[in-house]
Structure 1
């Protein structure tokens, strides 16, 4: 008998077989609402200025084990019916309260795909710069669609450029461009977990290499992974997987990225924490404007409004009075924003000059 064969599998107790099949069911997968555009994100490798592939279409496929046998399909799709309800995001669908899905049709929108209700994650690449073009009219706001889909998913994810751009070098950027306005803060539900992608990293390795590395799921069915940037051990696993497919000389910016995150982890994590604090201040600024806080209260919340206007949006220097009752109330209902790195598995040579996708 070959090492890859196990004819006695059916003789195992059903409970044990079900447990084995369950190990093959993909973990949380990321469904992209729109195509990522490399010009508008911190994307590694920094390749041609063109849209990236939409890899989450793989995440919308039925799990591989659903095609093995009836028992495996039952485990994959039916045994945990409340957990594996598939949602497509099409018109006519409603949530448990009867609220209909607000469709978003734009030039870079993703066609509806299946995601598992209460288990998978929906991600929005879009931010303000997507609208800066002359050849198309302004697209509809995607945030209502994100809000609805996030209520059906386990969590939501957005690009850092939408909320507060992440700069690992800590350079000051006072611009408010490419971020949501105060009127859009209402679309972020305080009961939803929001991952905020600080950087997108493409890992160009074969399916076999990915399976061996085990970084994109047991059977390679999780082509997009979100990782805490402070989880250096997991980031190092993705670095090792990347090294299997490319020499450092081919993607120097990816090599520099991994060096920064793993070899200078303390500095990188400190910058991530600074970013988190700046985002908190920016969010409070949006809430002040959204809720039209009176000027006298506004002045008490921010103790440095008398500084030059060009410095008011240097969030690293802004002073927010966290002891103020209004601030404490808003922080208590502030959505939970967690910084992550997005790793994407591609078997092609996307983003490299001179190479085309297969």
Structure 2
């Protein structure tokens, strides 16, 4: 009898079983279409609690298992593909911006795609086309798994696309989500991994959490608040960790939705882990 938690006979398992284990190690990730503009993401909260661009860079790193061995690396990349936004004319036509990422690696069976851009970005960054249409087009290959910021539901819209085209774009987000709030978790990779809140191996730094999943939201909030309380001197502005009730969030969202839009339910919180 031994207390050794390691399984030393893994390399002796049949190849098919080892590959199946590696596949189970892959996380469900949120792929960002663009960099978040800190002032735009927080809007009225200045100074902002964190530089969200750093999180985007961390989120673009390959899965952890791609660093383990040749076999795991094969699994990490077999189901994903790299999308070069600049080499795809139809994507450039849909939306181009200073903040849009040039390359995305997407796993169609597991990933969701998120748009940080909102109308308040327009005065500060160049763009052409419709960011929402670009989101909907990319989400179509992910079974409609796409999310946008709550501020996108304001009275102002980006680009010159008519409202009919925007309605059609929103309808394509069959499993779409509206991000109501951003919570930043200031922690280390090791602590994030051990928490079990950011994928099996801690390599899913952005989490979309259903507003009705109060247990998971509570766990993330408690973890974020605890991590922030342990940091001394490096926090620009402390966050407000109050909990919103499901009904209050639904009321806010329904009050914002135009009659032109589908009655989508509030679905998620968005949590970032900066370095």
Determine the structure 2 residue equivalent to 1:185.
167
Q: Do the aligned partners of residues 5 and 269 (structure 1) sit closer, same or farther apart at CA in structure 2, a change above 3 Å counting?
A: closer
For the 8 Å contact 2:49–2:237, the answer to whether it is kept is no
1:1-358 to 2 correspondences below 5 Å:
3=4, 5-27=6-28, 29-42=29-42, 47-48=47-48, 52-78=52-78, 84-93=79-88, 100-102=90-92, 104-133=95-124, 139-154=128-143, 155-164=145-154, 176-177=155-156, 182-183=163-164, 184-190=166-172, 192-247=174-229, 254=239, 256-257=240-241, 259-261=242-244, 268-279=245-256, 282=258, 284=259, 286=260, 334=262, 336-347=264-275
Alpha-carbon offset, residue 111 of structure 1: 2.4
User: Scaled by the length of structure 2, what TM-score is found?
Assistant: 0.80
The structural deviation recorded for 1:40 is 2.4
Change (3 A) 1:139 1:91: closer
Q: Say if 1:26 and 1:218, in contact at 8 Å, map to a contact too.
A: yes
Which structure 2 segments of 5+ residues have no match?
none
1:18 match: secondary structure: helix
Q: Alpha-carbon deviation of 1:225?
A: 0.4
Higher mean C-alpha displacement, 118-127 vs 3-12: 3-12
What is the CA deviation profile of residues 242-300 of structure 1, one whole-angstrom value per residue up to 9, with x for unaligned ones? 2442218968853x43x323xxxxxx2111222343355x1x2x26xxxxxxxxxxxxx
- The residue that corresponds to 1:322 in the other structure is none
**Any stretches of 5+ residues in structure 1 without a counterpart?**
79-83, 95-99, 165-175, 262-267, 288-333, 348-358
Larger Rg: 1
Please list the CA deviations of residues 183-234 of structure 1 after superposition, one character each: whole Å capped at 9, or x if unmatched. Answer: 4323223463211110111100011110111111121210100011221110
Give the secondary structure class of the aligned counterpart of 1:343: strand
What's the TM-score once normalised by structure 1's chain length?
0.63
